[in-house]
Amino acid sequence: MSIIQLAITLVTTAGVSFRAVSKIYIHLNLYLRLNLDIPTHTTVLNWTKKQGVSQFRDKEFFQHEKWVLIVDESIQFGNKKLLVVFAVPERRCGQSKVLSYKDLTPLVLKVSASWKSENVVSAIREHIDPEQISYCVSDTGGNLTCAFNILKCKYIADVNHKFSLMMQSIFENDVHFSEYVKALSSLRAQKSMSKMARIVPPNQRIMSRWMNLTPLLEWGVKMIHLLDKDELTEEEKTVLSFLKPLKEFIFDTYQVLIRLNDIQKLLKNNGFNNETALKAISKFSNMKSDNSLKIKKQIEIYFEDLTFKAEGKTICCSSDIIESCFGRYKEIVKGNKSFGISDLCLCIAAMTGRNNVSNAIETVSIKQLKEWKTKNVSKTLFAEKKELNKKIDRSYFMKK
User: Could you tell me if residue 366 is inside a domain?
Assistant: no
Beta strands in 290-399 (DSSP E): none
Out of 170-179, 212-221, 346-355, least confident range: 346-355
User: Could you tell me if residue 146 is inside a domain?
Assistant: no
Beta strand 67-73 with 81-89 is antiparallel
Can you tell me whether residue 340 is helix, strand or coil?
A: coil
User: Could you tell me if residue 220 is inside a domain?
Assistant: yes
Beta strands in 113-173 (DSSP E): 133-138, 154-157
User: Could you tell me if residue 284 is inside a domain?
Assistant: yes
Buried b (16+ CB within 10 A) or exposed e, 124-159: beebbeeebbbbbbbbebebbbbbbeebebbbbbbb
pLDDT of residue 336: 61
Q: How many distinct helices (H) and strands (E) make up the chain?
A: 18, 5
Q: Return the bridge partners of 87, or none.
A: 69, 105
CA-CA distance, 128 to 63, in Å (whole number)?
A: 8
pLDDT of residue 335: 63
Mean pLDDT of 296-301: 97
pLDDT of residue 388: 77
pLDDT band at 334 (very low <50, low <70, confident <90, very high): confident
Residue-wise pLDDT tens digits, 97-122: 889 999 999 999 999 888 999 999 99
Q: Is the pLDDT of residue 86 over 90?
A: yes
| Residue 168 C-beta-side C-alpha neighbours within 13 Å | 11
Mean pLDDT of 239-268: 96
Q: Which residue range is the domain that position 256 belongs to?
A: 163-310
Q: How far apart are the first and last CA of the chain?
A: 62
pLDDT of residue 98: 86
pLDDT band at 300 (very low <50, low <70, confident <90, very high): very high
User: Could you tell me if residue 371 is inside a domain?
Assistant: no
pLDDT of residue 391: 79
Give Cα 237 distance to the centre of its chain.
39
Beta strand 133-138 with 105-112 is unpaired
* Nearest residue to 296 (alpha-carbon basis) of 317, 306, 282: 282
Mean pLDDT of 273-279: 95
pLDDT of residue 76: 62
Beta strand 105-112 with 81-89 is antiparallel
Mean pLDDT of 129-136: 96
> DSSP secondary-structure letter at 240?
T
Task: Tell the burial category of 302 from Cβ atoms under 10 Å away from its Cβ (0-12, 13-18, 19+).
Answer: buried
Give Cα 289 distance to the centre of its chain.
32
Domain count, the chain: 1
* Nearest residue to 47 (alpha-carbon basis) of 370, 380, 330, 362: 362
pLDDT of residue 355: 65
> What is the strand order of the sheet 133-138 is part of?
105-112, 81-89, 67-73, 133-138, 154-157
pLDDT band at 211 (very low <50, low <70, confident <90, very high): confident
CA-CA distance, 269 to 70, in Å (whole number)?
A: 16
Q: Is the pLDDT of residue 209 over 90?
A: no
User: Could you tell me if residue 215 is inside a domain?
Assistant: yes
pTM equals 0.88
User: Could you tell me if residue 339 is inside a domain?
Assistant: no
Residues whose CB falls within 8 Å of the CB of residue 193, separated by 6 or more in sequence, listed in order: none
Task: Tell the burial category of 196 from Cβ atoms under 10 Å away from its Cβ (0-12, 13-18, 19+).
Answer: middle
User: Could you tell me if residue 80 is inside a domain?
Assistant: no
Q: Where are the alpha helices (DSSP H) in 13-114?
A: 18-32, 41-53, 90-93
Residue-wise pLDDT tens digits, 7-53: 999 999 888 989 999 999 999 999 999 998 999 999 999 999 999 99
Helix, strand, coil percent values for the chain (each to nearest 5)? 65, 10, 30
Beta strand 133-138 with 81-89 is unpaired
pLDDT of residue 220: 97
